[in-house]
Amino acid sequence: MAFIDYYKILGIEKTASQDDIKKAYRKLARKYHPDLNPNDKEANKQFQQINEANEALSDPEKRKKYDEYGEHWKHADQFEQQKQSQGEHATYQGTGNPFGSSSSGGYTSDDFGGGDFSDFFESMFGTAGGRRQGRGQVKYKGHDYQAELKLNLMDAYTTHKQTLTVNGKNLRITIPAGIADGQIIKLSGQGGPGQNGGPNGDLYITFNLVEHPVFKRLNDDIYVNKEIDLFTAVLGGEVTVDTLDTKVKLKVSAGTQNGTKVRLKNKGFPVYKKDGHFGNLYITYTVKVPTELTDKQRELFEELRKLY
């Protein structure tokens, strides 16, 4: 198997930060996503490689193994065990691919007490890179997939079902109410197929919430501005306010100042996977000052100013 440079696939340097890896993956995943490239085999291949690269590099522990063992990073633990069983005779001196030739800085037959390198490889991973036949066959877990799903605020407010297409396969998933922006959920066994009877990989879905034009969410609380006229602010009265699921009438106290904030308990966002639990709704009053007055209105305001 030829060495696969996951850094090159994502278009980043080996010194890239975890944030750089995340940004590069998201950009390329959008570009090559199967939904945007139907029937494009090359784009589908690129999408799979991008997911493989992200799986290896997005997790610091996996990245460390990849940097040391190259595309065989998933077998790092097995390799370490094999080294121990051989009395620590094997000392890796490579550049990221422990199964390369001696010219690339990998293992040579001398590293294994004069034994043939292919024999050692087969003893660890089976014939032809992990396809040992019969008894003692090595089972490999499939690749994990990464996907993104956009939701608006009202979608995230209720538990509902959506169909998600991943690698050409339609999945009907249930999205719990209260999902947060950037939250990741795992669907076990919905990734790439395993090898030699090994388990399938997993699917990791990242949720991106689109901002609402009226309601602003902060954790489980919701914030909204409500405009009231000057007369209601001065004299008091009632206003109707929209919440996420209904309308409520509120009493406004006389002398309410601009920027006054009131709280409606349990009228905010549902708490994730806690039925019946909600955050709060915070309403900020904005007093609207009239700008176009009739002569009579101006006269009355002048009288009020004199009295005040």
199 three-state secondary structure: coil
Both structure tokens of 225: 């501005």
Whether 83 shows a pLDDT value over 80: the answer reads no
Could you tell me if 205 and 170 lie in one domain? yes
Could you tell me if 187 and 97 lie in one domain? no
pLDDT score of 129: 41
> Domain boundary at 79, 107, 130, which?
130
The answer to whether residue 302 is domain-embedded is no
Whether 218 shows a pLDDT value over 50: the answer reads yes
* Tens digits of residue pLDDT in 250-266: 999 999 999 999 999 99
Angstrom distances, CA of residue 180 to CA of 1, 100, 215, 246: 41, 44, 15, 22
Could you tell me if 256 and 281 lie in one domain? yes
The answer to whether residue 277 is domain-embedded is yes
How far is 49 from 31, CA to CA, in rounded Å? Answer: 13
The answer to whether residue 117 is domain-embedded is yes
Q: Output the domain CATH number for residue 261.
A: 2.60.260.20
* Tens digits of residue pLDDT in 112-140: 333 343 344 444 444 444 444 444 567 88
Whether 5 shows a pLDDT value over 90: the answer reads no
The overall pTM is greater than 0.85: no
> Domain boundary at 167, 185, 210, which?
210
The answer to whether residue 304 is domain-embedded is no
Q: Please tell me the total count of domains within the chain.
A: 3
Whether 29 shows a pLDDT value over 60: the answer reads yes
Could you tell me if 10 and 110 lie in one domain? yes
What average pLDDT does the chain have? 80
Q: Output the domain CATH number for residue 23.
A: 1.10.287.110
* Tens digits of residue pLDDT in 277-308: 999 999 999 999 888 888 898 888 888 888 87
Whether 228 shows a pLDDT value over 80: the answer reads yes
What's the pLDDT band for 104 if we cut at 50, 70, 90?
very low
If one compares 35 and 13, the residue with the highest pLDDT of the two is 13
The answer to whether residue 135 is domain-embedded is no
What's the pLDDT band for 194 if we cut at 50, 70, 90?
confident
The answer to whether residue 305 is domain-embedded is no
- Cβ contacts of 222 within 8 Å, gap of 6 or more: 215, 216, 243, 244, 267, 268, 269, 279, 280, 281, 282
Could you tell me if 110 and 20 lie in one domain? yes
Domain hosting 226: range is: 216-291
Could you tell me if 201 and 228 lie in one domain? no
Could you tell me if 126 and 159 lie in one domain? no
Could you tell me if 104 and 195 lie in one domain? no
